[in-house]
Structure 1
Amino acid sequence: MIRKAFVMHVFGDCHEEYKRRHDEIWPEMIEMLKEYGAHDYSIFLDPTTGRLFAYLVIEDEERWSKTAETEICQKWWAYMKDVMETNEDHSPVSLELKEVFYLK
C-alpha cells in the first residue's frame, strides 16, 4: 500500500459548501475511488487559510493515476470548480507532499 498526501485550496466563502458537497458525495464517485484502489481517504481543512490537506492510501500508482480519465471524476471536478482553486481542465490545483517521517 502507498500513502499519499497533498494540499489544495478552497475559497474563503466556500468552506461550508465544500464540506456539504463531500457530505453528499455521489455514490458513483465513491465506487470509482474504491475501484481504483483508494483506501482511508481523508480531507482536512484549515479554516484560517482555506488550505485543504488530503491523505489517502492507494494500492497502485499507475491504477490510481487513471482516475482522472474517468467520466465521474471529470464530472466531479466540474462540480467543484466554483468552490476551489482549479486548473484549466477543472482538476484541483494540488501539491503532492513528500513523506519525511512515518511511525508505524
Structure 2
Amino acid sequence: MVRRIAQIVHLKPSSIEAYRRCHAAVWPEVLQQIQDCNITDYSIFFDNDRTIFATFKWVGNDWESDMKRMSENPKVREWWAMTDGMQESPISGALSSAEGPGWWKVLEEVFHMD
C-alpha cells in the first residue's frame, strides 16, 4: 500500500535561517525513525514567504502504529520541540507535533499522475 501525504505549516519569519540550517543536518536518529516508520520520498519545500510544504510516501501496513512509534521516539520528540518553535500551525487548537489535533495541516489530493 502506498499513501501519498502532503502537508503545510507556517514558518515564523525570524526562524527561516535556523530552519534551513537544522534541515541541512537532520539528526541521524530522526532520519532512521522516519525510515523505520515506512516513510519514503520525503521532501520539504519553502515558498519564501511563510508556508512550508512537505510531501512523502508512506508504504506501510498500519499507519496508526507507525505514527505511534514515531511519536514515542525521544529524539524525534526533541526534534519536533525544536522545529515547532520555529513554526506556527494552521490547525485550530494545535498544541505541538507531539500533542493535540495535529500540527501540520494535511492537504487533500485532487490530482495525481504516475
TM-score, normalised to structure 2, is 0.80
**CA shift digits 1:63-100 (9 cap, x unpaired):** 43221222222111112232112543x31721101111
Q: Does 1:77 align with 2:87?
A: no
Residue from 100, 107, 111 that aligns with 1:101 = 111
Q: Cα distance, 1:2 vs. partner?
A: 1.0
Tell me the number of residue pairs that the alignment of Structure 1 and Structure 2 aligns. Answer: 102
Q: Cα distance, 1:29 vs. partner?
A: 0.5
Distance 1:33 1:46 in 2: 24
Where structure 2 has 5 or more consecutive residues not aligned to the other structure, the ranges are none
Distance 2:46 2:107 in 1: 16
Where structure 1 has 5 or more consecutive residues not aligned to the other structure, the ranges are none
Which residue of structure 2 lines up, in the alignment, with residue 58 of structure 1?
58
Q: Cα distance, 1:41 vs. partner?
A: 0.3
User: Which gives a bigger RCO, structure 1 or 2 (Cα 8 Å, sep 6+)?
Assistant: 1
**1:1-104 to 2 correspondences below 5 Å:** 1-48=2-49, 50-60=50-60, 61-66=63-68, 67-85=70-88, 87-88=94-95, 90-91=96-97, 93-104=103-114
Distance 2:19 2:88 in 1: 12
Paired residue secondary structure (1:101): coil
Runs of 4+ in 1 over 6 A off after TM superposition: none
The letter of the residue matching 2:14 is D
The letter of the residue matching 1:76 is W
Cα root mean square deviation, aligned: 1.6
